[in-house]
Amino acid sequence: MKKKTFNIDFIGNSKRYLIISLAIIVLGILFTVFAGVKLDIEFVGGTMLSYVYDGEISPDDFKSSVQDALGGAEVAVNTGSDFTTGKNKIQVEINAKTELNSDGQLELTTKLDELYSENNLELIQSSDVSAASGQTFFLKCLVAVVFSSIVLIIYIAIRFKNIGGWLAGVCAVIALFHDIFVVYATFVIFRMDIDSNFMAVVLTILGYSINNTIVIYDRIRENKLLYRKEKLTLAEVTNRSINQSLTRSMITSLTTILAMLAVTVVALIYDVQSIIPFSFPVMVGMISGTYSSLCVSGPLWVFLENKRSNKGDGSKKPKQEAAPAEA
């Protein structure tokens, strides 16, 4: 059975892809400016209270009850299970803007006891969270991303020196930062807190995205040698390489996307809110990673290569490589 071959003009449609990417970036910026960014307690500091209870409690109702008791304070509520007692657990995170000392915690717990007397609400843990720890963690992750980007450019420059080297590496890194911003926009637009989940999603997406890009670069290198007699333009070689890698990239990403979709749906059904800020952004980031590998890094590399050679019309011919010597 003949393998199906796609013939999508990725290079010719590069302007459309640019518009899509710019639209997402602008949307993310607009939400950041007008709606603001929700930072988790580990980045702004505050108080964390953990309760166990019997029966059922609506997280939204509980959040409203806490806010009313504290005069409209910024509050986040997460639900789960306590591993020690096996009871249902609800965790309240109160922003540092609301000064909550031990007397205030006792007063809040007393009010919640009255409201949820049938649930046998019990305070099992109380702790003050410093913003410094979260900021230190964020800076360490930022350093890791920057360092890995530099190493990635060097690696691609050495491995793919016959197809542009460092420039191909720069394009791959630009595609990675494109994916990071898409993940950020997802958190901002869907009003999810920027927390450790955000950094976990970013580091997860980077691995998948760069893998697809490396596969495409490797196919371009092979095709330049395979089709050297046809004297294809750089755009034609790149288009052919991306189309040949399309099925593999889609299948590889689709398996993870479907897995994360299943996790997100189950979490929504059973109201397990703690996993959604990870599973949903990973799903979006996987889609973005596949898109950027196919529609951003390749077309951008062709544009910059042609620009570097003063041939912005996309007609650059790939460099000829010597055929391997016969034994």
Residue 4: its pLDDT value, please?
A: 57
In a domain, 121, yes or no: yes
Domain's final residue, options 85, 100, 129: 129
Q: Give the relative orientation of helices 131-159 and 166-189 as an angle to the nearest 10 degrees.
A: 150
The C-alpha angle with vertex 108 and arms to 106 and 114, in degrees rounded to 5, equals: 105
Q: Are residues 146 and 239 in the same domain?
A: yes
Residue 287: its pLDDT value, please?
A: 92
264: CATH: 1.20.1640.10
Q: Given the structure tokens 């544009």, which residue do they identify?
A: 303
Q: Give me Rg for the CA atoms of the chain.
A: 25
Q: Are residues 100 and 185 in the same domain?
A: no
Q: Are residues 227 and 84 in the same domain?
A: no
Half-sphere exposure for 169 (CA within 13 Å, toward CB): 17
Number of domains in the chain: 2
Q: Which of 50, 70, 61, 67 lies closest to 123, judged by CA?
A: 50
Q: Are residues 81 and 208 in the same domain?
A: no
| Predicted structure pTM score | 0.81
Q: Are residues 255 and 284 in the same domain?
A: yes
Q: Are residues 50 and 119 in the same domain?
A: yes
Q: Are residues 19 and 96 in the same domain?
A: no
In a domain, 304, yes or no: yes
The rounded distance, in Å, linking the Cα atoms of 231 and 301 is: 19
Q: Are residues 28 and 108 in the same domain?
A: no
Q: Provide the pairing of β-strand 75-81 with 46-53.
A: unpaired
Cβ atoms of 286 and 205 closer than 8 Å: yes
Q: Which domain holds residue 54?
A: 46-129
The rounded distance, in Å, linking the Cα atoms of 156 and 221 is: 12
For 89, the 3-state DSSP assignment is strand
The rounded distance, in Å, linking the Cα atoms of 118 and 170 is: 60
In a domain, 197, yes or no: yes
Q: What is the pLDDT along the chain (327 residues), one digit of tens a residue?
A: 445 567 889 999 999 999 999 999 999 999 999 998 888 887 878 888 899 998 888 888 998 999 888 887 788 888 877 777 778 888 888 887 777 788 888 889 899 998 998 888 988 888 887 777 777 878 888 888 888 888 888 888 888 887 767 888 899 999 999 999 999 999 999 989 888 888 889 888 887 778 888 888 889 888 888 877 777 888 899 999 999 988 888 888 888 899 999 999 998 887 777 788 999 999 999 999 999 989 999 899 988 888 887 644 444 444 444 444 333
Q: Are residues 124 and 206 in the same domain?
A: no
